[in-house]
Chain A
Amino acid sequence: MPAMLEKERKFFDKNKAKLVAEHVGKFVLVKDSILIGVFNTIEEAISEGARRFGLQSFLVRQVNEAPTPEINIPALTLGILNANSTRPI
Chain B
Amino acid sequence: MPILHVQYDGQGQSPDGKTVKIPPAAALRQHGPVGIGQLFSDQLLQQGSQLPKPVSGNALIDTGASTTCIDDAVAKTMGIPVIDVVTMASASYASTQQNVYSIQMQIVGSPIRVEVPNATGASLQTQGIVALIGRDYLQHCTLHYNGITGQITLSI
A47, A55, A61, A79: the one within 8 Å of B84 (CB): A61
A residues bordering B, Cβ < 8 Å? Answer: 1, 3-5, 9, 42-43, 46-47, 49-51, 53-61, 68, 70-79, 81-82, 84-85, 89
Q: Are the C-beta atoms of A58 and B85 separated by less than 8 Å? A: no
Contacts of B86 in A (CB 8 A): 68, 70-71
Q: CB within 8 A of A51: which of B46, B66, B98, B134?
A: B46
**Which residues of the partner chain A approach B99 to less than 8 Å between Cβ atoms?**
1, 4
Specify the main secondary structure of chain A where it touches its partner: loop
Q: Is the interface of B mostly helix, strand, loop or mixed?
A: mixed
**B44, B62, B66: which contacts A50 (Cβ < 8 A)?**
B44
> Can you list 12 A-B contacts (CB < 8 A)?
A1-B97, A5-B82, A47-B43, A49-B83, A54-B47, A54-B49, A55-B81, A56-B81, A57-B83, A71-B86, A73-B69, A76-B90
| Highest count of chain A CB atoms <10 Å: which of B26, B52, B83, B127 | B83
Please state if A50 and B43 are interface contacts (CB–CB under 8 Å).
Answer: yes
Q: Which of B1-9, B105-113, B116-124, B141-149 lies at the binding interface?
A: B116-124
A-B contact count (CB 8 A): 115
**Per-position 1/0 for B1-43, Cβ under 8 A of A:** 0000000000010000000001000100110000000000001
Spell out B's residues near A (CB within 8 Å): 12, 22, 26, 29-30, 43-44, 46-47, 49, 52, 60, 62, 64-67, 69, 72, 79-92, 95-99, 102, 115, 117-118, 120, 122, 124, 127-128, 132, 134
Complex CA distance for A4 and B101, rounded to whole angstroms: 12
- In the complex, which residues of chain B have a beta carbon less than 8 angstroms from the beta carbon of A76? 65, 69, 88, 90, 122, 132
Residue of A nearest to B117 (CB): A42
- Chain B residues positioned under 8 Å from A46 (CB to CB): 43, 83, 102, 117
Cα separation A5 to B79 with both chains bound (whole Å): 15
Contacts of B46 in A (CB 8 A): 51
Q: Which 5 A-B pairs have the closest CB atoms?
A: A50-B43, A57-B82, A57-B81, A73-B65, A89-B26
Partner of A72 from the list B26, B66, B79 (CB cut-off 8 Å) is B66
